[in-house]
Amino acid sequence: MGKVILDMDTGIDDALAIAYACAIPELELLGVTTTYGMAPVDQSVRNTLLVLELLKCDAPVYRGAEKPLVRSRVYSGTFHGNDGLGDVNRREPKRTAEEMHAVDFIIEQSRKHGSDLTLVTTAPLTNLALAIQKAPDIVGKLGRVVTMGGAVAAPGNVTKFAEANIIIDPHAARVVFSSDLPITLVGLDVTRKTVLRQEAAEKWREKGTESSVFFATFTEYYLQAYKKYHPYLQGCALHDPLAVGVAACPDLVGTVPMHITVDLDEDALGRTVEDIHRESPASPNTQVCMGVDAERFVSDFLSRTDQA
């Protein structure tokens, strides 16, 4: 069984990723570390706790970074709502987060489980960058980092070049990609090909349980945003669930080894770029997902989350 930590800014597709991870018996969910991103960190904590409660999963939740290393964060509720989950929830979770900071949990678990541990990040990379800066020894220990973020050949979704999780904290991303950690990059090159259609949300609504109706309602919010901004997709992208899928089943994707660096120049801020112009040759630092068996992934996601 693969031990896994999810590092999230729990918005809508992060919540779908939690449901998927909980439904994969081969993954042992050690905990969820949270950060700001689509909403402030305290909202991410609440969303994570509520989603886990509805899924009847008692994995511990850790509060992490509140802001990017250098930049400042301005929130917009366009894709995820002001509360990160489509502004449809009326109640508070019963549990609270653990005392330990998310960064310390990542360090502790990396030291404890070493190569058995996979960290799946679906948020700005601030928690992981802070963990590397505080405890550089985790670089040689942590088994694998599967990161939803970036766009290598595909266009960005915030600017022409940059994807949200990277551009929100490009300095943290720079720390992570310069670190020698074994990274698999699940970027827009593949996640835009994995599409959830309206019928899935309708099916969850018809099921009529508290969790399935909640999932249907916030997913419909996301679908509406996609209809407005990316109508050609005919559904919403399963960005964060695909990272969980890759952690559980690496052969869902085809990867290309590259040396990825993060652009910090203003005109291309947050671009994840293959560093082909480097002066001294460096070995590849990232397995970049460039192909995906989207049909197999979406059907696996739907059949497993049907239990939620």
Which residues inside 228-247 make contact with Ca ion, applying CB under 5 A? Answer: 240
Q: Is the CB of 148 or the CB of 288 nearer to ligand BDR? A: 148
- Helix, strand, or coil here: 272? strand
d(Cα 280, Cα 275) in Å, to the nearest integer? 11
List the one residue from 4, 5, 13, 181 that touches ligand BDR (CB under 6 A): 13
Instruction: Candidates 11-19, 261-269, 277-285, 289-297: pick the segment binding ligand BDR (CB under 6 A).
Output: 11-19
List the one residue from 34, 43, 165, 272 that touches ligand BDR (CB under 6 A): 165
Question: Per the structure block, which two tokens stand in for 196?
Answer: 């959830």
- Is residue 163 close enough to count as binding ligand BDR by CB under 6 A? yes
For the bound state, the minimum distance from the C-beta of residue 104 to ligand BDR, rounded and expressed in Å, comes to 23
* Spatial CA neighbour of 152 closest among 242, 256, 244: 256
For the bound state, the minimum distance from the C-beta of residue 34 to ligand BDR, rounded and expressed in Å, comes to 13
d(Cα 150, Cα 169) in Å, to the nearest integer? 12
User: Among residues 113, 230, 239, 277, which one is catalytic?
Assistant: 239
113 is catalytic: no
d(Cα 9, Cα 23) in Å, to the nearest integer? 20
- Is residue 125 close enough to count as binding ligand BDR by CB under 6 A? no
List the one residue from 35, 43, 47, 122 that touches Ca ion (CB under 5 A): 122
Question: Per the structure block, which two tokens stand in for 109?
Answer: 């678990």
Q: For the chain, how far is it from start to end, CA to CA, in angstroms?
A: 21
> What is the per-residue burial (b if ≥16 Cβ within 10 Å, else e) of 173-202?
bbbbbebebbbbbbbbbbbbbbbbebebbe
List the one residue from 14, 83, 104, 189 that touches Ca ion (CB under 5 A): 14
List the one residue from 14, 83, 104, 293 that touches ligand BDR (CB under 6 A): 14
d(Cα 269, Cα 161) in Å, to the nearest integer? 8
- Is residue 220 close enough to count as binding ligand BDR by CB under 6 A? no
- Is residue 241 close enough to count as binding ligand BDR by CB under 6 A? no
Q: Which residue has the tokens 């939803």?
A: 148
List the one residue from 63, 239, 271, 304 that touches ligand BDR (CB under 6 A): 239
Which residues inside 65-124 make contact with ligand BDR, applying CB under 6 A? Answer: 79, 122
The CA radius of gyration of the chain, in Å to the nearest whole number, is 18
For the bound state, the minimum distance from the C-beta of residue 198 to Ca ion, rounded and expressed in Å, comes to 21
Question: Per the structure block, which two tokens stand in for 153?
Answer: 């050949």
Q: 183 φ, ψ to 5°?
A: -110, 135
Write out the residues near ligand BDR by the rule CB under 6 A: 11, 13-14, 38, 79, 122, 148, 157, 163-165, 239-240
Q: Which residues are catalytic?
A: 239
Under the rule (CB under 5 A), what is the footprint of Ca ion? Answer: 14, 122, 240
